[in-house]
Amino acid sequence: EAQVTQNPRYLITVTGKKLTVTCSQNMNHEYMSWYRQDPGLGLRQIYYSMNVEVTDKGDVPEGYKVSRKEKRNFPLILESPSPNQTSLYFCASSFLGLAGGQSYNEQFFGPGTRLTVL
Amino acid sequence: GENVEQHPSTLSVQEGDSAVIKCTYSDSASNYFPWYKQELGKRPQLIIDIRSNVGEKKDQRIAVTLNKTAKHFSLHITETQPEDSAVYFCAAENTGFQKLVFGTGTRLLVSP
């Protein structure tokens, strides 16, 4: 089954304790992204990756790190979590398709990780 | 960079009514406009999209329209049903840069 998986699904931690949220996709997609979802703010992109070893900042990258050593995995790292990083996090993978002479980019989202930083 | 505004933030309708959600974007180079539906506690899922070479697209009860000149696009849901209740997100992207920017979401509530 084609899917994006994330772990853990729920995490409660304390300020300053390093954590990693894993993301894996089995669709051989080149593109992967991390988003955070906060009430009233929608989905904001944290980081994205266009291929192995190619990553770039999204709109809200402060306090986060990512790596893309393999095509299928794109972990999100919080080196020193703070309470303002309490949020719902989604990983997504996508491919650039072509139809009718125009490109499109459908994002496939993981199930989400609800993180609470005390 | 791209900025997407979405209205209204909440929308309540009676079952069978139509619902319209509107979005505006700022970057005239954006060429791909998807709509995602997120049910409570679940992940966003693509329900329909439109590309900049098309003005309108329909899929059963759902339709999207795009006005490139005015830089706005809309989602239309006809004959709404309680299972349409969810949060809907619009988004815009210049596919050359692979950066999708989302609106802030519209919570649609369809009452029986």
Contact list in B for residue A99 (CB cut-off 8 A) is 51
Q: How confident is the model at residue A48 (pLDDT cuts 50, 70, 90)?
A: very high
For residue A33, the distance in angstroms to the closest alpha carbon of chain B comes to 9
Q: What is the DSSP letter of A79?
A: S
Greatest CA separation for chain A: 50
Token pair, residue B95, equals 């596919």
Model confidence pLDDT, tens digit, residues B21-56: 999 999 998 989 999 999 999 999 999 999 887 889
Report A:5-34 residues touching B (Cβ under 8 A): 31, 33
For residue B42, the distance in angstroms to the closest alpha carbon of chain A comes to 7
> How much is the pLDDT for B94?
80
Length of chain B: 112
**pLDDT at residue A99 above 90?**
no
Return the minimum-mean-pLDDT range out of A19-23, A58-62, A71-75, A98-102. A98-102
**What is the distance between the alpha carbons of residues B109 and B45, in angstroms, rounded to a whole number?**
18
Q: What is the DSSP letter of A73?
A: B
The reply to whether residue A107 touches residue B46, judged by beta carbons under 8 angstroms, is: yes
The reply to whether residue B43 touches residue A110, judged by beta carbons under 8 angstroms, is: yes
Model confidence pLDDT, tens digit, residues A56-80: 999 999 999 999 999 999 999 999 9
